[in-house]
């Protein structure tokens, strides 16, 4: 079951990057941004529980973390590419 755990971990790390985006946007724009309360009330507690339980279960090995970082890197590339494609279509 844990052979491809790094994919799930990479998706969760990519989701965790969202912890920074909405609060930083709110500070930069000096106003409320959609997703700020979702980040505070949903994403942060989810990630705290996720990393706590999976580290306690022993799933956070160096190989899993390295594979997850590679997955997250490719997801960020796909995200940036999709924004470039979206800019050309609008």
pLDDT score at 2: 58
How buried is 71 (Cβ within 10 angstroms: 0-12 exposed, 13-18 middle, 19+ buried)? buried
Predicted confidence band at 32 (pLDDT cuts at 50, 70, 90)?
Answer: confident
Q: How many CB atoms lie within 10 A of CB 75?
A: 16
pLDDT of 86 over the 70 cut? yes
pLDDT of 76 over the 80 cut? yes
Q: What is the pLDDT of residues 44-73, one digit of tens each?
A: 999 999 999 989 988 888 999 999 999 999
What is the domain count for the chain?
Answer: 1
Closest CA to 12 of 62, 56, 54: 54
Average pLDDT of the segment spanning 2-19 = 85
Domain housing 84: 5-89
CA atoms within 13 A on the CB side of 75: 18
Q: 19, 44 in Cβ contact below 8 A?
A: yes
């Amino acid at each position: 079951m844990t052979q491809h755990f790094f994919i799930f971990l990479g998706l969760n790390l990519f989701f965790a990057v969202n912890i920074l985006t909405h609060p930083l946007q709110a500070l930069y724009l000096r106003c409320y941004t959609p997703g700020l309360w979702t980040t505070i009330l949903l994403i942060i507690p989810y990630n705290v529980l996720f990393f706590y339980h999976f580290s306690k279960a022993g799933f956070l090995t160096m190989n899993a973390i390295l594979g997850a970082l590679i997955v997250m890197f490719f997801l960020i590339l796909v995200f940036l590419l999709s924004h470039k494609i979206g800019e050309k279509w609008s």
